[in-house]
Structure 1
Amino acid sequence: MAEDEKPAKAPKAERPAKAAEGEKPARQPKSDKGGGDKAAKGQKGGPREGKGAPKDKGGAKEKVARTPRPKDYKPRMKTHYEKVVRDEMAKQFGYENAMQIPRIEKVVLNMGVGEAVNDRKKVDAAAKDLAMIAGQRAVITRARKSVATYKVRDGMAIGCKVTLRGDRMYEFVDRLVTIALPRVKDFRGLNPKSFDGRGNFAMGLKEHIIFPEIDYDQVDEVWGMDVIVCTTAGNDDEARALLRGFNFPFRT
Protein backbone atom coordinates (compact mmCIF):
# COMPACT_ATOMS: atom_id res chain seq x y z
CA MET A 1 0.00 0.00 0.00
CA ALA A 2 1.33 3.30 -0.99
CA GLU A 3 2.33 5.65 1.72
CA ASP A 4 -0.36 8.17 2.67
CA GLU A 5 0.24 11.43 1.00
CA LYS A 6 0.46 14.35 3.38
CA PRO A 7 -1.93 17.22 2.60
CA ALA A 8 -0.33 20.26 1.09
CA LYS A 9 0.09 23.20 3.42
CA ALA A 10 -2.12 26.22 2.78
CA PRO A 11 -0.21 29.23 1.52
CA LYS A 12 0.43 31.88 4.18
CA ALA A 13 -1.40 35.16 3.84
CA GLU A 14 0.75 37.94 2.64
CA ARG A 15 1.64 40.55 5.24
CA PRO A 16 0.72 44.12 4.42
CA ALA A 17 3.55 46.11 3.11
CA LYS A 18 5.35 48.20 5.69
CA ALA A 19 4.52 51.86 5.62
CA ALA A 20 7.20 54.23 4.65
CA GLU A 21 9.27 55.62 7.45
CA GLY A 22 7.53 58.48 9.25
CA GLU A 23 4.05 57.37 8.15
CA LYS A 24 1.61 55.67 10.52
CA PRO A 25 -0.92 53.17 9.24
CA ALA A 26 -4.49 54.45 9.30
CA ARG A 27 -6.62 53.00 12.07
CA GLN A 28 -9.84 51.31 11.20
CA PRO A 29 -12.94 52.86 12.78
CA LYS A 30 -14.24 50.94 15.79
CA SER A 31 -17.70 49.53 15.57
CA ASP A 32 -20.27 50.99 17.95
CA LYS A 33 -20.74 48.66 20.90
CA GLY A 34 -24.26 48.04 22.04
CA GLY A 35 -25.70 49.77 19.00
CA GLY A 36 -26.35 52.98 20.99
CA ASP A 37 -25.48 56.44 19.82
CA LYS A 38 -23.19 58.31 22.19
CA ALA A 39 -24.66 61.59 21.07
CA ALA A 40 -28.01 60.47 22.45
CA LYS A 41 -26.53 60.14 25.93
CA GLY A 42 -25.51 63.78 26.01
CA GLN A 43 -23.02 65.74 24.04
CA LYS A 44 -19.92 67.20 25.64
CA GLY A 45 -20.48 70.71 26.92
CA GLY A 46 -24.27 70.47 26.75
CA PRO A 47 -26.61 71.20 29.67
CA ARG A 48 -26.61 68.57 32.38
CA GLU A 49 -29.11 67.80 35.07
CA GLY A 50 -28.93 65.94 38.36
CA LYS A 51 -25.84 65.44 40.49
CA GLY A 52 -23.40 66.09 37.64
CA ALA A 53 -24.93 69.45 36.75
CA PRO A 54 -22.76 72.53 37.36
CA LYS A 55 -23.72 74.47 40.49
CA ASP A 56 -25.11 77.98 40.25
CA LYS A 57 -22.88 80.41 42.12
CA GLY A 58 -25.60 82.89 42.88
CA GLY A 59 -25.66 84.91 39.67
CA ALA A 60 -24.99 88.63 39.44
CA LYS A 61 -24.89 90.72 42.59
CA GLU A 62 -27.72 93.09 43.28
CA LYS A 63 -26.94 96.73 42.74
CA VAL A 64 -28.39 99.61 44.71
CA ALA A 65 -30.58 101.74 42.48
CA ARG A 66 -29.31 105.28 42.01
CA THR A 67 -31.43 108.28 41.14
CA PRO A 68 -29.96 110.46 38.39
CA ARG A 69 -28.90 113.89 39.66
CA PRO A 70 -28.42 117.21 37.87
CA LYS A 71 -24.86 118.36 37.24
CA ASP A 72 -25.15 121.33 39.59
CA TYR A 73 -26.55 119.21 42.44
CA LYS A 74 -25.18 119.85 45.93
CA PRO A 75 -26.50 118.31 49.18
CA ARG A 76 -28.30 120.68 51.50
CA MET A 77 -26.00 119.95 54.44
CA LYS A 78 -22.91 120.60 52.32
CA THR A 79 -24.24 124.02 51.33
CA HIS A 80 -25.08 124.72 54.98
CA TYR A 81 -21.53 123.82 56.02
CA GLU A 82 -19.89 126.02 53.38
CA LYS A 83 -22.08 129.08 53.98
CA VAL A 84 -22.87 128.94 57.70
CA VAL A 85 -20.85 126.43 59.74
CA ARG A 86 -17.42 127.45 58.45
CA ASP A 87 -17.95 131.12 59.33
CA GLU A 88 -19.26 130.28 62.80
CA MET A 89 -16.32 127.97 63.52
CA ALA A 90 -13.81 130.59 62.34
CA LYS A 91 -15.32 133.24 64.63
CA GLN A 92 -15.55 130.93 67.64
CA PHE A 93 -12.02 129.48 67.52
CA GLY A 94 -10.18 132.20 65.58
CA TYR A 95 -8.55 130.08 62.89
CA GLU A 96 -5.90 131.94 60.90
CA ASN A 97 -6.11 129.64 57.88
CA ALA A 98 -9.30 128.43 56.22
CA MET A 99 -7.80 124.94 55.95
CA GLN A 100 -7.71 124.71 59.76
CA ILE A 101 -11.51 124.76 59.99
CA PRO A 102 -12.70 121.24 60.93
CA ARG A 103 -14.95 119.24 58.64
CA ILE A 104 -16.63 115.84 58.62
CA GLU A 105 -14.28 113.39 56.93
CA LYS A 106 -16.42 110.24 56.82
CA VAL A 107 -19.32 108.43 58.46
CA VAL A 108 -19.09 104.70 59.22
CA LEU A 109 -22.22 102.57 59.74
CA ASN A 110 -21.77 99.18 61.37
CA MET A 111 -24.21 96.35 62.13
CA GLY A 112 -23.30 93.40 64.33
CA VAL A 113 -25.41 90.29 63.72
CA GLY A 114 -24.86 87.82 66.53
CA GLU A 115 -27.58 85.49 65.24
CA ALA A 116 -25.45 84.85 62.15
CA VAL A 117 -23.61 82.11 64.10
CA ASN A 118 -26.63 79.85 63.56
CA ASP A 119 -28.05 81.35 60.36
CA ARG A 120 -25.84 82.84 57.61
CA LYS A 121 -28.86 84.30 55.79
CA LYS A 122 -29.41 86.85 58.55
CA VAL A 123 -26.16 88.61 57.64
CA ASP A 124 -27.34 88.94 54.05
CA ALA A 125 -30.67 90.38 55.21
CA ALA A 126 -28.91 92.90 57.47
CA ALA A 127 -26.52 93.90 54.66
CA LYS A 128 -29.46 94.47 52.32
CA ASP A 129 -31.18 96.77 54.84
CA LEU A 130 -27.95 98.66 55.55
CA ALA A 131 -27.41 99.20 51.82
CA MET A 132 -30.88 100.73 51.55
CA ILE A 133 -30.15 103.08 54.46
CA ALA A 134 -26.72 104.19 53.21
CA GLY A 135 -27.37 104.20 49.47
CA GLN A 136 -24.37 102.01 48.66
CA ARG A 137 -23.46 98.34 48.95
CA ALA A 138 -22.54 97.05 52.39
CA VAL A 139 -19.38 95.04 53.11
CA ILE A 140 -19.60 91.80 55.10
CA THR A 141 -17.41 91.83 58.23
CA ARG A 142 -15.81 88.59 59.43
CA ALA A 143 -14.38 87.36 62.71
CA ARG A 144 -10.61 87.74 63.10
CA LYS A 145 -10.22 84.92 65.59
CA SER A 146 -12.16 81.98 66.96
CA VAL A 147 -14.09 82.28 70.23
CA ALA A 148 -15.38 78.94 71.49
CA THR A 149 -17.66 80.55 74.10
CA TYR A 150 -19.77 82.22 71.41
CA LYS A 151 -19.30 79.46 68.80
CA VAL A 152 -17.46 81.90 66.53
CA ARG A 153 -14.87 80.60 64.08
CA ASP A 154 -12.12 82.55 62.37
CA GLY A 155 -13.44 84.03 59.12
CA MET A 156 -17.13 83.61 60.00
CA ALA A 157 -19.48 86.37 58.78
CA ILE A 158 -20.74 88.27 61.84
CA GLY A 159 -21.95 91.63 60.50
CA CYS A 160 -21.70 94.32 57.85
CA LYS A 161 -20.57 97.93 57.48
CA VAL A 162 -20.60 100.91 55.11
CA THR A 163 -18.22 103.88 54.88
CA LEU A 164 -19.75 107.08 53.50
CA ARG A 165 -17.84 110.03 52.06
CA GLY A 166 -18.67 113.05 49.92
CA ASP A 167 -22.24 113.81 48.91
CA ARG A 168 -23.67 110.56 50.29
CA MET A 169 -22.17 111.36 53.67
CA TYR A 170 -23.89 114.77 53.80
CA GLU A 171 -27.17 113.23 52.63
CA PHE A 172 -27.04 110.60 55.38
CA VAL A 173 -26.26 113.20 58.06
CA ASP A 174 -29.27 115.21 56.85
CA ARG A 175 -31.62 112.20 57.08
CA LEU A 176 -30.16 111.16 60.44
CA VAL A 177 -30.64 114.54 62.11
CA THR A 178 -33.88 115.59 60.41
CA ILE A 179 -35.87 112.32 60.19
CA ALA A 180 -34.29 109.35 61.99
CA LEU A 181 -33.38 110.72 65.44
CA PRO A 182 -36.78 112.41 66.02
CA ARG A 183 -38.40 108.99 65.44
CA VAL A 184 -36.45 107.35 68.30
CA LYS A 185 -38.76 106.43 71.15
CA ASP A 186 -38.19 108.51 74.33
CA PHE A 187 -35.31 110.36 72.70
CA ARG A 188 -33.68 112.85 75.11
CA GLY A 189 -30.70 113.96 73.07
CA LEU A 190 -27.22 112.69 72.27
CA ASN A 191 -24.56 112.25 74.91
CA PRO A 192 -22.10 115.19 74.55
CA LYS A 193 -19.32 113.06 76.09
CA SER A 194 -19.36 110.32 73.44
CA PHE A 195 -16.12 111.55 71.85
CA ASP A 196 -12.82 109.68 71.75
CA GLY A 197 -10.52 112.66 72.48
CA ARG A 198 -9.47 113.01 68.82
CA GLY A 199 -12.58 114.63 67.41
CA ASN A 200 -14.52 111.46 66.52
CA PHE A 201 -18.09 110.89 67.72
CA ALA A 202 -19.86 107.53 68.13
CA MET A 203 -23.48 106.73 68.86
CA GLY A 204 -25.64 103.61 68.96
CA LEU A 205 -29.13 103.05 67.59
CA LYS A 206 -31.27 100.20 68.91
CA GLU A 207 -33.58 100.00 65.89
CA HIS A 208 -32.65 100.45 62.25
CA ILE A 209 -36.30 100.88 61.28
CA ILE A 210 -36.20 104.57 62.28
CA PHE A 211 -34.79 105.37 58.83
CA PRO A 212 -37.39 106.21 56.17
CA GLU A 213 -35.82 103.82 53.62
CA ILE A 214 -36.89 100.76 55.65
CA ASP A 215 -40.42 99.41 55.24
CA TYR A 216 -41.48 98.06 58.62
CA ASP A 217 -43.95 95.57 57.11
CA GLN A 218 -41.20 93.87 55.08
CA VAL A 219 -38.63 93.57 57.88
CA ASP A 220 -38.14 90.14 59.45
CA GLU A 221 -35.96 91.31 62.35
CA VAL A 222 -34.93 94.62 63.89
CA TRP A 223 -31.17 95.25 64.04
CA GLY A 224 -29.13 97.67 66.10
CA MET A 225 -26.37 99.70 64.51
CA ASP A 226 -23.44 101.99 65.32
CA VAL A 227 -22.87 105.39 63.71
CA ILE A 228 -19.31 106.79 63.87
CA VAL A 229 -18.71 110.35 62.67
CA CYS A 230 -15.03 111.03 61.94
CA THR A 231 -13.91 114.67 61.76
CA THR A 232 -10.65 116.52 61.19
CA ALA A 233 -10.99 118.41 64.49
CA GLY A 234 -8.01 118.32 66.83
CA ASN A 235 -10.00 117.98 70.06
CA ASP A 236 -13.47 117.19 71.36
CA ASP A 237 -14.55 120.82 71.85
CA GLU A 238 -14.00 121.68 68.20
CA ALA A 239 -15.70 118.47 67.05
CA ARG A 240 -18.69 119.11 69.34
CA ALA A 241 -19.07 122.66 67.99
CA LEU A 242 -18.83 121.32 64.42
CA LEU A 243 -21.59 118.75 64.95
CA ARG A 244 -23.76 121.32 66.71
CA GLY A 245 -23.48 123.35 63.52
CA PHE A 246 -24.96 120.35 61.67
CA ASN A 247 -27.89 120.38 64.16
CA PHE A 248 -26.86 117.28 66.10
CA PRO A 249 -29.21 117.33 69.14
CA PHE A 250 -26.78 117.07 72.08
CA ARG A 251 -28.07 117.07 75.63
CA THR A 252 -27.36 120.25 77.59
Structure 2
Amino acid sequence: MYTFKYYYQHIIKQDLLTKFDYNNALQIPFLNKIVINFGASQSTFKNLLPSLASAPLLCSQFPYITISKKTTLLLKTKGGVAIGCKIDLRGINKFFFFEKFIFCILPRIKNFCYVVVDNNVFFKLDNLFLFKEIAKEYDYFQDLPKLSVNLNFKAKNSKEVSVFLSALKFPPIIKSQYD
Protein backbone atom coordinates (compact mmCIF):
# COMPACT_ATOMS: atom_id res chain seq x y z
CA MET A 1 0.00 0.00 0.00
CA TYR A 2 2.69 2.46 0.94
CA THR A 3 4.75 1.87 -2.19
CA PHE A 4 2.09 3.18 -4.56
CA LYS A 5 1.18 6.07 -2.26
CA TYR A 6 4.85 7.10 -2.03
CA TYR A 7 5.30 6.73 -5.79
CA TYR A 8 2.22 8.89 -6.40
CA GLN A 9 3.33 11.61 -3.98
CA HIS A 10 6.91 11.89 -5.21
CA ILE A 11 7.03 10.74 -8.83
CA ILE A 12 3.62 10.97 -10.50
CA LYS A 13 2.69 14.35 -9.00
CA GLN A 14 6.01 15.83 -10.12
CA ASP A 15 5.57 14.36 -13.59
CA LEU A 16 2.09 15.87 -13.89
CA LEU A 17 3.27 19.25 -12.59
CA THR A 18 5.97 19.44 -15.27
CA LYS A 19 3.57 18.54 -18.09
CA PHE A 20 0.46 20.53 -17.08
CA ASP A 21 -0.26 23.90 -15.52
CA TYR A 22 -2.23 23.83 -12.25
CA ASN A 23 -3.35 26.77 -10.13
CA ASN A 24 -4.06 24.66 -7.07
CA ALA A 25 -2.62 21.45 -5.65
CA LEU A 26 -6.12 19.97 -5.52
CA GLN A 27 -6.33 20.08 -9.33
CA ILE A 28 -3.66 17.38 -9.71
CA PRO A 29 -5.32 14.14 -10.92
CA PHE A 30 -5.56 11.16 -8.61
CA LEU A 31 -7.16 7.71 -8.55
CA ASN A 32 -10.63 8.27 -7.10
CA LYS A 33 -11.98 4.70 -6.91
CA ILE A 34 -11.76 1.27 -8.50
CA VAL A 35 -14.92 -0.63 -9.45
CA ILE A 36 -14.55 -4.39 -9.90
CA ASN A 37 -17.38 -6.34 -11.49
CA PHE A 38 -18.04 -10.03 -12.08
CA GLY A 39 -20.94 -10.05 -14.50
CA ALA A 40 -22.95 -12.72 -16.23
CA SER A 41 -26.09 -12.16 -18.26
CA GLN A 42 -27.93 -15.26 -17.04
CA SER A 43 -26.57 -16.67 -13.82
CA THR A 44 -27.93 -18.74 -11.02
CA PHE A 45 -26.83 -18.37 -7.46
CA LYS A 46 -24.81 -21.58 -7.86
CA ASN A 47 -22.79 -20.00 -10.69
CA LEU A 48 -22.42 -16.78 -8.71
CA LEU A 49 -20.86 -18.41 -5.62
CA PRO A 50 -17.29 -18.73 -6.98
CA SER A 51 -17.33 -15.03 -7.93
CA LEU A 52 -18.58 -14.08 -4.48
CA ALA A 53 -15.90 -16.23 -2.84
CA SER A 54 -13.05 -14.99 -5.02
CA ALA A 55 -13.72 -11.27 -4.51
CA PRO A 56 -12.41 -11.08 -0.91
CA LEU A 57 -9.28 -12.95 -2.02
CA LEU A 58 -8.64 -10.45 -4.81
CA CYS A 59 -9.23 -7.20 -3.01
CA SER A 60 -9.85 -7.77 0.73
CA GLN A 61 -13.41 -6.51 0.57
CA PHE A 62 -16.74 -8.29 0.33
CA PRO A 63 -18.85 -7.73 -2.81
CA TYR A 64 -22.51 -6.94 -3.11
CA ILE A 65 -24.81 -8.77 -5.48
CA THR A 66 -26.17 -6.86 -8.46
CA ILE A 67 -29.78 -7.62 -9.32
CA SER A 68 -31.43 -6.89 -12.65
CA LYS A 69 -34.15 -4.27 -12.32
CA LYS A 70 -36.33 -5.23 -15.24
CA THR A 71 -36.71 -7.95 -17.84
CA THR A 72 -34.63 -7.44 -20.98
CA LEU A 73 -35.33 -9.73 -23.92
CA LEU A 74 -32.24 -8.65 -25.81
CA LEU A 75 -29.94 -9.71 -22.95
CA LYS A 76 -32.22 -12.60 -21.95
CA THR A 77 -32.49 -11.52 -18.32
CA LYS A 78 -35.43 -11.63 -15.97
CA GLY A 79 -36.27 -8.90 -13.54
CA GLY A 80 -35.18 -9.40 -9.94
CA VAL A 81 -32.54 -12.05 -10.72
CA ALA A 82 -28.93 -11.87 -9.46
CA ILE A 83 -26.71 -11.18 -12.48
CA GLY A 84 -23.31 -10.57 -10.91
CA CYS A 85 -21.38 -9.05 -8.05
CA LYS A 86 -19.65 -5.71 -7.72
CA ILE A 87 -17.08 -4.08 -5.45
CA ASP A 88 -16.27 -0.39 -5.03
CA LEU A 89 -12.72 0.02 -3.73
CA ARG A 90 -11.76 3.21 -1.96
CA GLY A 91 -9.10 4.14 0.57
CA ILE A 92 -6.63 1.49 1.67
CA ASN A 93 -8.26 -1.33 -0.31
CA LYS A 94 -7.97 0.74 -3.50
CA PHE A 95 -4.21 1.15 -3.02
CA PHE A 96 -3.81 -2.51 -2.04
CA PHE A 97 -5.52 -3.80 -5.21
CA PHE A 98 -3.90 -1.27 -7.55
CA GLU A 99 -0.42 -1.96 -6.24
CA LYS A 100 -0.95 -5.72 -6.61
CA PHE A 101 -2.21 -5.18 -10.16
CA ILE A 102 0.63 -2.87 -11.22
CA PHE A 103 3.53 -4.86 -9.76
CA CYS A 104 2.34 -8.49 -9.92
CA ILE A 105 -0.37 -8.91 -12.54
CA LEU A 106 0.33 -6.37 -15.31
CA PRO A 107 3.87 -7.63 -16.11
CA ARG A 108 2.48 -11.16 -16.61
CA ILE A 109 -0.23 -10.15 -19.12
CA LYS A 110 0.90 -10.43 -22.74
CA ASN A 111 -1.77 -8.57 -24.72
CA PHE A 112 -3.10 -5.99 -22.31
CA CYS A 113 -5.53 -3.51 -23.81
CA TYR A 114 -7.66 -0.91 -22.13
CA VAL A 115 -10.01 1.88 -23.09
CA VAL A 116 -9.84 5.45 -21.79
CA VAL A 117 -13.17 7.30 -21.79
CA ASP A 118 -13.20 10.73 -20.13
CA ASN A 119 -11.83 10.09 -16.64
CA ASN A 120 -12.31 6.32 -16.64
CA VAL A 121 -10.08 3.46 -17.70
CA PHE A 122 -11.83 0.19 -18.56
CA PHE A 123 -10.25 -3.23 -19.01
CA LYS A 124 -11.10 -6.90 -18.56
CA LEU A 125 -9.02 -9.69 -17.11
CA ASP A 126 -9.72 -13.05 -18.71
CA ASN A 127 -7.25 -15.19 -16.77
CA LEU A 128 -7.79 -14.67 -13.06
CA PHE A 129 -5.26 -17.38 -12.23
CA LEU A 130 -2.60 -14.67 -12.51
CA PHE A 131 -3.59 -13.84 -8.93
CA LYS A 132 -1.73 -16.27 -6.70
CA GLU A 133 -4.62 -16.35 -4.20
CA ILE A 134 -6.95 -17.69 -6.91
CA ALA A 135 -4.36 -20.05 -8.39
CA LYS A 136 -3.98 -21.87 -5.07
CA GLU A 137 -7.65 -22.90 -5.17
CA TYR A 138 -7.82 -23.90 -8.84
CA ASP A 139 -10.49 -26.58 -8.38
CA TYR A 140 -12.96 -24.23 -6.76
CA PHE A 141 -12.44 -21.25 -9.10
CA GLN A 142 -12.39 -22.99 -12.52
CA ASP A 143 -15.59 -21.39 -13.80
CA LEU A 144 -14.95 -17.75 -12.94
CA PRO A 145 -16.31 -15.18 -15.40
CA LYS A 146 -14.20 -12.32 -16.73
CA LEU A 147 -13.28 -9.60 -14.27
CA SER A 148 -14.23 -6.10 -15.44
CA VAL A 149 -12.22 -3.31 -13.85
CA ASN A 150 -12.98 0.41 -13.98
CA LEU A 151 -10.36 2.87 -12.75
CA ASN A 152 -12.04 6.20 -11.98
CA PHE A 153 -9.76 9.24 -11.88
CA LYS A 154 -10.39 12.77 -10.71
CA ALA A 155 -8.94 14.69 -13.64
CA LYS A 156 -9.85 17.43 -16.11
CA ASN A 157 -9.55 15.34 -19.28
CA SER A 158 -8.40 12.01 -20.67
CA LYS A 159 -4.97 13.40 -21.60
CA GLU A 160 -4.14 13.83 -17.90
CA VAL A 161 -5.29 10.27 -17.28
CA SER A 162 -3.06 8.93 -20.07
CA VAL A 163 -0.04 10.81 -18.64
CA PHE A 164 -0.88 9.39 -15.22
CA LEU A 165 -0.96 5.87 -16.66
CA SER A 166 2.25 6.35 -18.64
CA ALA A 167 3.98 7.37 -15.39
CA LEU A 168 2.90 3.97 -14.02
CA LYS A 169 4.45 2.23 -17.06
CA PHE A 170 1.11 1.11 -18.51
CA PRO A 171 1.32 -0.05 -22.13
CA PRO A 172 0.34 2.58 -24.74
CA ILE A 173 -3.39 3.22 -25.27
CA ILE A 174 -4.97 0.93 -27.82
CA LYS A 175 -8.39 2.58 -28.01
CA SER A 176 -9.57 6.03 -27.08
CA GLN A 177 -12.92 7.75 -27.17
CA TYR A 178 -11.64 10.32 -29.67
CA ASP A 179 -10.09 7.89 -32.20
TM-score of the pair, normalised by structure 1: 0.63
Q: Provide the secondary structure at the position in 2 that maps to 1:195.
A: strand
| Separation (CA, whole Å) in 2 of partners of 1:190 and 1:219 | 24
| Separation (CA, whole Å) in 2 of partners of 1:190 and 1:151 | 28
Contact 1:141/1:159 (<8 A) preserved: yes
Contact 1:75/1:167 (<8 A) preserved: no
Give unmatched runs, 5+ long, in structure 1.
1-73
**Residue matched to 1:135:** 60
- By how many angstroms is 1:147 displaced? 2.6
Does residue 1:218 correspond to 2:140, yes or no?
A: yes
- By how many angstroms is 1:210 displaced? 1.8
Q: Provide the secondary structure at the position in 2 that maps to 1:218.
A: coil
Q: Which has the higher contact order (CA 8 A, sep 6+)?
A: 2
**Residue matched to 2:70:** 145
- By how many angstroms is 1:151 displaced? 4.6
Higher strand share: 2
| Separation (CA, whole Å) in 1 of partners of 2:37 and 2:99 | 18
Higher helix share: 2
TM-score of the pair, normalised by structure 2: 0.86
**Residue matched to 2:177:** none
Give unmatched runs, 5+ long, in structure 2.
175-179
Look up the equivalent residue of 1:88 and give its one-letter code. D
How do 1:80-159 and structure 2 match up within 5 A?
Answer: 80-116=7-43, 119-148=44-73, 151-159=76-84
Q: Provide the secondary structure at the position in 1 that maps to 2:132.
A: coil
- Rg larger in 1 or in 2? 1
Look up the equivalent residue of 1:109 and give its one-letter code. I
- By how many angstroms is 1:149 displaced? 5.6
Tell me: CA distance 1:149–1:106, structure 2 relative to 1, closer, same or farther (3 Å).
closer
| Separation (CA, whole Å) in 1 of partners of 2:74 and 2:152 | 33
Aligned pair count reads 172
Contact 2:67/2:82 (<8 A) preserved: yes
Q: What percentage of residue pairs aligned between the two structures are identical?
A: 27
